[in-house]
Amino acid sequence: MASKTPLTDGIRPGEALSLQQYEAMGGYQGLRKALLTLKPAEVTETVKASTLRGRGGAGFLAGQKWSFVPMGDDAPQPKYVVVNADEMEPGTFKDRVILEGNPHELIEGAIITSYAVQASVAYIFLRWEYQEAVAILTKAISEAGGAGYLGEDILSSGFSLDLHLHVSAGRYICGEESAQLNSLEGERPNPRNKPPFPAIVGLWAKPTVINNVETISCVPHIIQNGPEWFRSLSLTEDGGTKLYGVSGRVKNPGIWELPMGTTAREILEVHAGGMQDGLAFRGLLPGGASTDFIVQEHLDTPMDFQSLQAVGSRLGTGTMIVLDDKTCPVAMVLNLERFFAQESCGWCTPCWGGLQWIVQMLGALENGEGTHADLEMLERHAKWLGPGNTFCALAPGAVEPLQSALRHFRDDFERHIREKRCPWR
């Protein structure tokens, strides 16, 4: 019987699965099946049928993204696949588990993805700070090449692929897919205007698929066990398992592979063991820094794309950051907005100008120098920096924790104004 935790099976802390260990668990059987028995379009159709949605934050259907890539003899060549391993969303540490624990799962997924869109070159775009993963992936790519899974005429299928590791040098914006393409090309990594989307005009203006590490790592299992099996892993209509995580002042912070749609309460109270002794829960960001706060009344919400949207938030990366009652919500939002202001690439005015202003107003509020007019101005900024006013999603993401904090923790903001100080200091 196929596993309930396909992504993390066999992974042990501090040790990467070798090629032999991965193969002994059925590794590279999905690749064999795809290359030797399925046409590229059938692979894409299978992934579409699985309802696999992107695990990097935006949640776009992976199979649909692939289906935009031009196919056939007239398609521009070469085509590319880029694995986004630039995990830098604050509070997010899930891709690290795969990168350090089972590199071949990711490599197999990258090869199958490349086959589906007939890409001949693939890159893994990895953040520099994941130094363990640099060593692990370098070794694994070499092992995969030695076993005939990369290079010319893979498994005598006629399909060829070169896979390279690209190590970056910092900056959050490089995780945005079009900025990542500019970065790979050796340009200053500002995001690109869209459309055209990367699937049509991507790396060096060629068709390019970019997917997150966790997304790509689901692919071998979907091919091997089928889309119905993948959908059956989930409690909701978005297929598969999810790497959920918890950080903050809980008893047992960590990452767990659970059915998609597991409730926030189960993740927080059962897996993370609840709050540390003496602390009470105030709220949480469900999927990294750029998602809206949810609070006590939302804890029974399934952690999936649609359910979280229904309560005014997003699944994002699925790694939650917990706010406790001994931590000031205004100071927490200030920390978040400082991050976004610093990491803005500076291209769009609402983003670079607006975020600086937000930081100044929050700083004043936290120091007891804020006014009610500041709260109104912060609310206006949440709209001005929202979707549609910038090239990329950095600014719209940045205002999500702000707008929801203003709603859920209004009294705490008011107290800072009334008492002319931070009540937590």
Partner 1 sequence: MLTDRERNEIEEHLALYAHKRAGCIEAMMAVQRHRGWVSDEAVDDLAELLEMTAEELDGVATFHNLIFRQPVGRHVILICDSVSCWIMGYDNLLDHLRSRLGIDLKETTADGRFTLLPSVCLGACDRAPVMMIDGALFGDLTKERIDEILAGYE
Sites of contact with partner 1 (CB under 8 A): 87-93, 95-96, 127-132, 164, 166-172, 183-189, 204, 245-249, 253-255, 285, 289, 319, 321-324, 327, 332, 335-336, 339, 342-343, 345
Which residue number, 238 or 412, has a Cβ lying nearer to partner 1?
Answer: 412
Q: Which is nearer to partner 1, 251 or 372 (CB)?
A: 251
CB of 194 to partner 1, least distance (A): 21
Nearest distance, CB of residue 143 and partner 1, angstroms: 18
We find the least distance from the C-beta atom of residue 164 to partner 1, in angstroms, to be 5
For residues 350 and 385, the answer to whether their CB atoms sit within 8 Å is yes
Residue 368 region, left (φ>0) first, then alpha (ψ -120 to 50), else beta? left
Shortest gap between Cβ of 364 and partner 1 (angstroms)? Answer: 19
Contact 345, 190 (CB under 8 A): yes
Q: Taking the complex as a whole, how short is the minimal distance between the CB of residue 121 and partner 1, in angstroms?
A: 8
Q: Which is nearer to partner 1, 47 or 126 (CB)?
A: 126
Residue 208 CB neighbours (<10 A): 29
HEC readout, 118-174: CCCEEEEEECCCCHHHHHHHHHHHHHHHHCCCCECCHHHCCCCEEEEEEECCCCHHH
Shortest distance (Å) from residue 38 CB to partner 1: 29
Token pair for residue 393?
A: 């999603």
Of the pair 120, 356, the CB lying nearest partner 1 is at 120
Query: Within the chain, how many helices (H) and strands (E) appear?
Result: 17, 9
Please, which residue, 206 or 231, has the CB nearer to partner 1? 206
Closest approach, Cβ 91 to partner 1, in A, equals 5
Helix, coil or strand: residue 283: strand
CA distance linking residue 282 with residue 11, whole number of Å: 33
Identity of the residue, 252 or 371, whose beta carbon is nearer to partner 1 in the bound complex: 252
List % helix, strand, coil for the chain (3-state, nearest 5). 45, 15, 40
Please say whether the beta carbons of 346 and 272 come within 8 A: no
CB of 134 to partner 1, least distance (A): 9
Query: 69: phi > 0 → left, psi -120 to 50 → alpha, else beta; which?
Result: beta
* Smallest separation (angstroms) from partner 1 to the CB of 264: 17
Q: Phi and psi (nearest 5°) for 24? A: -65, -25
Nearer to partner 1, 65 or 127 (CB): 127
Cβ nearer to partner 1, comparing 23 with 129 = 129
Residue 289 or 303: the one with the smaller Cβ distance to partner 1 is 289
Residue type, 376: E
Residues 395-398: contacts with CB under 8 Å, at least 24 apart = 395/340, 395/344, 395/348, 395/350, 395/351, 395/354, 395/355, 397/57, 397/289, 397/290, 397/291, 397/340, 398/290, 398/336, 398/337, 398/340, 398/341, 398/351, 398/355, 398/358
